[in-house]
Amino acid sequence: MNSGRILLAHGGGGVLMHRLITERIVPKLGNPALAPLLDSAILNISKTRLALTTDSFVVKPIFFPGGDIGRLAVCGTINDLAAVGAVPRFLTLALILEEGLPLEVLDRVLDGIAAAASEADVIVATGDTKVVERGAADGMYINTAGIGEVPAGRNLSPKNIQPGDVVLTTGTLGDHGIAVMSRREGIEFTTELVSDVAPLASVMEAMMAAAPSVRCLRDPTRGGAAMTLGDFARESGTAVWIEEARVPIRPEVAGACEMLGIDPLYVASEGKYLVVCPGDESEAALAALRSHPLGRHAARIGEVRAAPAGKLVLSTRIGGRRLVEMPHGEMLPRIC
Amino acid sequence: MNSGRILLAHGGGGVLMHRLITERIVPKLGNPALAPLLDSAILNISKTRLALTTDSFVVKPIFFPGGDIGRLAVCGTINDLAAVGAVPRFLTLALILEEGLPLEVLDRVLDGIAAAASEADVIVATGDTKVVERGAADGMYINTAGIGEVPAGRNLSPKNIQPGDVVLTTGTLGDHGIAVMSRREGIEFTTELVSDVAPLASVMEAMMAAAPSVRCLRDPTRGGAAMTLGDFARESGTAVWIEEARVPIRPEVAGACEMLGIDPLYVASEGKYLVVCPGDESEAALAALRSHPLGRHAARIGEVRAAPAGKLVLSTRIGGRRLVEMPHGEMLPRIC
């Protein structure tokens, strides 16, 4: 490249863009689908029931303890596919780069993307690169869309939830949001905490093998567990009751939340699922989760009742009960 | 909504985001795939050979004569799918919105998206909404990914190009780039010109029905015809010879290019294909194109020879010949 930084010209459809893509991006992500650089990748799939998802990532800063925007983009999309029981297969990768971005930064992000894709056995099949002027994006934004194959008979949805079901988490909650905030300009603080960002498809498969009647699962990203569990209640018309004392929260997360004045239930995770399953499968699900490296801290955190319908109820440590409301707006801006 | 503008809180995963999506976005795009608002849409497809593409759109300004960023996002993705012979089926829609964006602007863009999707008979199956701070995006960026089904036996690729083939355009070139530039801050000029942005899947199908041996097609967006035809030559190892006098350019485009000091061959179109087909099918292809409303100005503009291998050659109006190089960088920044 002519300079060590992204130029507007890298987005112009000319020689520089061609070289950026063929010399810098494709070699990092290289695979048979991406190689021909056609307008569209041609994919051969084995099933005709597909899951399709998309997410843009605008996390700030783009590097944070335990990950970066690239790893986050791959994992976030994989986790949305696996949340409906799909086997993730292909990703798209669209970069919006800010003029002046050091190419070395792009390289590090591409490394994160390649590593996460390899870890999760998915292929980056096609992509796009745009460049905007200095100041018109914070370094970079990334969009990933994903395609997964849904096995026959698998139908995970909050609509399946019934009173008597139990609520599990695959691990500690809030690690990602607090890890990002610890590096946020203006409020940096010292912590040993790292983001939990990880691809969860293998966690989902391990659990489904042991507990095939799992009703639904979802990764509590923006809005945290409060939003996800509240959605479970609203979408099923049941009541989700959570016991505060059972929710696994790392001491570093609890401490930071106290300092920031926020409730850890509203803080994002990027490597955890909240799961609802029938009571008689919950022990099998927990055992399977705990024997997976990404599910060691799995726990039963609550149960589903009939009332109050559509509500999320928290039994507090001091013996009280309170309704947990959806967050109104932004608790922690731009954590993904 | 609480105000007439996008707030950071609209991106936070809480009540405001939920309402933005369910009350404002889904009703405009409403369809059975989008309705359940799961993490991933579940799609039933009929073929197991798929085309997958993605593009981000950062066009500036977001409204331009003849279209807007929403229509552009839908059409650009459809056209990339149809360029490999796929029948476009499903789109994803990811919005990155700038804090302060008037909701009325979002509504107009969503209208453009809905209209273009309906025109092209594709479904917006899933989406994502992020909000960044004032100044961290130019109003909005959009990413769309698309899935299409590839009919058996269809294998469009520049690798199929052979000496003796002819080169067609489905219409006038450069309309989109110049229409956008006419509204670009700092260089506005008056023109009757409108962007050609349009979904081209039906144009491709009409042509393929009449000329089943078409080798390849591609929409000359960033980098214009010079880039696309140059890619055809490079990827096939043939020589693409174009006759300048045969290339249909509107007088408004020619005039603006002269004023701006750019070559119309480098200016983007968003509603045209450049096509290579065997000589014996070229008349049938042209007739089919000209009877389609989006192909009325289709023309034969050149031919494929063996030498100079990998090069694009222009026979000029005054009888000369010159090699057309790939543009180095940005001719017209952010036209898509």
Using DSSP, state whether B169 is helix, strand or coil.
strand
B80 closest CB neighbour out of A39, A84, A218: A39
Of B16, B94, B223, the CB nearest to A328: B16
User: How many Cβ contacts (< 8 angstroms) between chains A and B?
Assistant: 277
Residues B291-312 have pLDDT tens digits of 999 999 999 999 999 999 999 9
A145-176 burial, b for 16+ CB within 10 Å, e for fewer?
Answer: bbbbbbeeebebebebbeeebbbbbbbbbbbb
* pLDDT > 70: percent of chain B: 97
Look at residues A75, A73, A79, A76 and name the one whose alpha carbon lies nearest to residue A127.
A73
- List of chain A residues whose C-beta atoms are within 8 Å of the C-beta of residue B181: none
Q: Which two tokens stand for residue A15?
A: 């020689």
Q: How far apart are CA A194 and CA A185, in angstroms?
A: 17
Query: In order of start, what are the domains of chain B with their CATH numbers?
Result: 8-149 (3.30.1330.10), 158-323 (3.90.650.10)
pLDDT in tens, B18-35: 888 888 888 888 776 676
Q: Which residue of B has its CA nearest to A329?
A: B9
* Contact yes or no for A224 and B141 at CB 8 A: no
Q: How far is CA A96 from the centre of its chain?
A: 20
Sign of the alpha-carbon torsion through B64, B62, B86, B239:
positive
Structure tokens at A214: 């799992």
One digit per residue, pLDDT tens: chain A, 336 residues? 446 999 988 888 788 888 888 888 888 887 766 766 677 888 888 888 999 999 999 999 999 999 999 999 999 999 999 999 999 999 999 999 999 999 999 999 999 999 999 999 999 999 999 999 998 898 999 999 999 999 999 999 999 999 999 999 999 999 999 999 999 888 888 888 999 999 999 999 999 999 999 999 999 999 999 999 999 999 999 999 999 999 999 999 999 999 999 999 999 999 999 999 999 999 999 999 999 999 999 999 999 999 999 999 999 999 999 999 887 766 678 889
The DSSP secondary structure of A214-240, one letter per residue, reads --EEE---TTHHHHHHHHHHHHHTSEE
- Distance between CA atoms of residues B94 and B55, nearest Å: 10
Whole-model pTM above 0.90? yes
Instruction: Supply the pLDDT for residue A60.
Output: 94
Distance CA A322, CA B27 (A): 33
* Strand pairing report for A299-305 and A41-44: unpaired
CB B178 within 8 Å of CB B257 = yes
| Residue A288: per-residue pLDDT | 98
Judged by CB atoms closer than 8 Å, whether chains meet at B132 and A58 is answered as yes
CB A1 within 8 A of CB A25: no
Partners of B76 on chain A (C-beta within 8 Å) are none
Start-end of H helices in B171-292: 175-181, 201-210, 224-236, 251-260, 282-290
Quick one: DSSP state of residue B41?
E
E strand or H helix at A205, and its extent?
Answer: helix A201-210
pLDDT digits (tens, 9 = 90+) for B141-168: 999 999 999 999 999 999 999 999 999 9
Please report residues of A whose CB lies closer than 8 A to that of B328. Answer: 9, 14-16
User: B268: which chain A residues are within 8 Å (Cβ-Cβ)?
Assistant: 13
Radius of gyration of chain A (CA): 21
Percent helix, percent strand, percent coil in chain A, to nearest 5: 35, 25, 45
Beta bridge pairs of residue B55:
B144
Please list, residue by residue across A209-243, b when 16 or more beta carbons sit within 10 angstroms of its beta carbon and e when fewer do: ebbeebbbbbbbbbbbbbbbbbbbbbbbebbbbbb
Interface contact flag, A330 B146, Cβ < 8 Å: no
Place of tokens 């009173």: A163
